[in-house]
């Protein structure tokens, strides 16, 4: 085991899989000579050469479209989009092309494409760089969506994504790249999709989160513990597939739930989580499910982002409201 940051764990997964499978290649803007805007691909060009680490122009649609063609040719491409917010420029390649190619071909073609894209606030980036738009892609059937919160999951889920026969959108939390550290196995392992993880046990309220919001939920749980409120934290890990049974089980044990995400409230993936809880755990609920999210506004200038993204205080307040509803 080695202690790594998230970006180191991601780089470790890329190096491991490119060494293991010579069909795996990386493409994207600045992934070669620069080593990626956050250095996630640092050293890959020197190790694997220009045929497998390809610098692309600033053209997200061309990056994703090229990855689709390479996959249909028998390769296993990993496309890097520098920021998830920029993927809007490739939406017409991701949702109506990449995501549905297996269905369109009646199962004749595998499409093993992984799209890596960082996102999320707290790092004072300019406009469009921090947007949390994962919910847009949850409504693109055929595409899997992975949202790791820690280095162990980042490596294991990325190896699982690269080996998947279908396209995967792998969303990496900007805040976690260098601030979140943890022990990561040096060898081969995968984390299966569709298996949520309880990162903290509790008996009074369940806080459901994914990606960087998991650390936020855990900090809120610390504050709540000092007040005598025992909070369980559930990390969804993947939005598609969603661990419906694990979600229902975690909520049923407390009867009260708070869902936390960085995206705007309306039609955020939290709405899908709440709907699933209502379908699968309704008779276990002792209070309405609370949601904590960003307001329905465009992501602000970095001077105001602390007022925009959810903070510990808002999660704690929501948990208090949920717990105070009489049983």
Q: Which CATH architecture has domain 197-324?
A: 3-Layer(aba) Sandwich (3.40)
Domain 2-184 identical in fold to domain 197-324: yes
HEC per residue, the chain: CEEEEHHHHHHHHHHHHHHHCCCEEEEECCCCCCCCCCCCCCCHHHHHCCCCEEECCCCHHHHHHHHHHHHHCCCEEEEECCCHHHHHHHHHHHHHHHCCHHHHCCCCCCCCCEEEEEECCCCCCCCCCCCCCHHHHHCCCCCEEECCCCHHHHHHHHHHHHHCCCCEEEEEECCHHHHCEEEECCCCCCCCCCCCEEEECCCCEEEEECCCHHHHHHHHHHHHHHCCCCEEEEECCEEECCCHHHHHHHHHCCCCEEEEEEEECCCCHHHHHHHHHHHHCHHHCCCCCEEEEECCCCCCCHHHHHHHCCCHHHHHHHHHHHHHCCC
What residues does each domain of the chain span?
Answer: 2-184, 197-324
pLDDT tens across the length of the chain (327 residues): 999 999 999 999 999 999 999 999 999 999 999 999 999 999 999 999 999 999 999 999 999 999 999 999 999 999 999 999 999 999 999 999 999 999 999 999 999 999 999 999 887 888 788 899 999 999 999 999 999 999 999 999 999 999 999 999 999 999 889 899 999 999 999 999 999 999 999 999 999 999 999 999 999 999 999 999 999 999 999 999 999 999 999 999 999 999 999 999 999 999 999 999 999 999 999 999 999 999 999 998 888 888 999 999 999 999 999 998 776
* pLDDT number for residue 251: 98
Q: What is this structure's pTM?
A: 0.96
Q: Which CATH architecture has domain 2-184?
A: 3-Layer(aba) Sandwich (3.40)
* pLDDT number for residue 288: 97
**Catalytic residue list:** 129
């Amino acid at each position: 085991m080695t202690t790594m940051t998230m970006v180191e764990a991601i780089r470790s997964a890329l190096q491991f899989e490119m060494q293991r499978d010579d069909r795996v290649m990386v493409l994207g803007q600045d992934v070669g000579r620069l080593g990626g805007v956050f250095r996630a691909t640092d050293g890959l060009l020197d190790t694997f050469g220009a045929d497998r680490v390809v610098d692309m122009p600033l053209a997200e649609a061309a990056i994703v479209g090229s990855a689709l063609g390479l996959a249909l040719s028998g390769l296993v491409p990993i496309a890097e989009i520098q920021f998830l917010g920029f993927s809007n420029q490739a939406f017409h390649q991701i949702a109506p092309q990449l995501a549905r190619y297996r269905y369109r071909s009646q199962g004749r073609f595998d499409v093993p494409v992984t799209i890596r894209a960082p996102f999320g606030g707290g790092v004072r980036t300019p406009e469009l760089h921090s947007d949390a738009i994962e919910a847009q892609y949850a409504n693109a059937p055929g595409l899997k969506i992975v949202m790791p919160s820690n280095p162990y999951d980042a490596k294991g889920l990325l190896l699982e994504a690269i080996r998947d026969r279908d396209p995967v959108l792998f969303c990496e939390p900007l805040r976690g790249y260098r601030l979140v550290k943890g022990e990561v196995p040096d060898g081969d392992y995968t984390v299966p999709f569709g298996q949520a993880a309880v990162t903290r046990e509790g008996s009074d309220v369940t806080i459901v989160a994914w990606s960087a919001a998991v650390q936020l939920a855990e900090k809120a749980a610390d504050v709540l513990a000092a007040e005598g409120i025992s909070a369980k934290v559930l990390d969804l890990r993947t939005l598609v597939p969603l661990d419906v049974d694990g979600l229902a089980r975690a909520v049923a044990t407390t009867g009260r739930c708070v869902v936390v995400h960085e995206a705007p409230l309306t039609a955020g993936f939290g709405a899908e989580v709440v709907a699933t809880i209502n379908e699968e755990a309704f008779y276990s609920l002792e209070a309405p499910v609370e949601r904590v999210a960003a307001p329905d506004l465009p992501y602000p200038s970095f001077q105001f982002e602390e007022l925009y993204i959810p903070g510990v205080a808002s999660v704690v307040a929501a948990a208090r409201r949920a717990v105070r509803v009489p049983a």
